[in-house]
Amino acid sequence: MLLSTDIWVGALIRRVEIGGGFAVVARKGDPRAGAVLVKVLNRRDGSARLLAEATRGDGDRVWMEPAASREEPELDRYIERAVRIDPDLWVVEIEDREGRHFLVEPVEKS
């Protein structure tokens, strides 16, 4: 059985806090089955990246970068478009000095 999205997001935020970062739910979606976007802000170099959950052909959950940009305003525009398409979407923003995402699932290289 998979976790509901609200519980999964809460666990991610807790991992971030334990690891010394800061995380906030920027947008709440469907508590049971909403998709999640994770925006990671690297405060050391000022870059940003966006990660979206995906499923590989073998059924494994992975994360990928849906937008190639490292500029926060461009990623925010991507998020706005995604929310118009999927109103159940969650957005979690993570700020970390090293730009860590704190996800436990694999992150595919873009």
Please write the tens of the pLDDT for every residue from 69-110: 999 999 999 999 999 999 999 999 999 999 999 999 989 875
Task: Extract the tokens encoding 89.
Answer: 């979407």
CB 90 within 8 A of CB 5: yes
Query: What CA–CA distance (Å, rounded) separates 19 from 65?
Result: 22
Domains along the sequence of the chain with CATH? 5-96 (3.40.1530.20)
Task: Extract the tokens encoding 99.
Answer: 């730009």
pTM given for the model: 0.93
The predicted structure's pLDDT at residue 60: 86
The C-alpha angle 48, 106, 38, rounded to 5 degrees, equals 35
Query: What CA–CA distance (Å, rounded) separates 72 from 61?
Result: 25
- Cα R_g (the chain), whole angstroms: 13
Average pLDDT over residues 9-27: 97
Percentage of the chain beyond pLDDT 90 is: 82
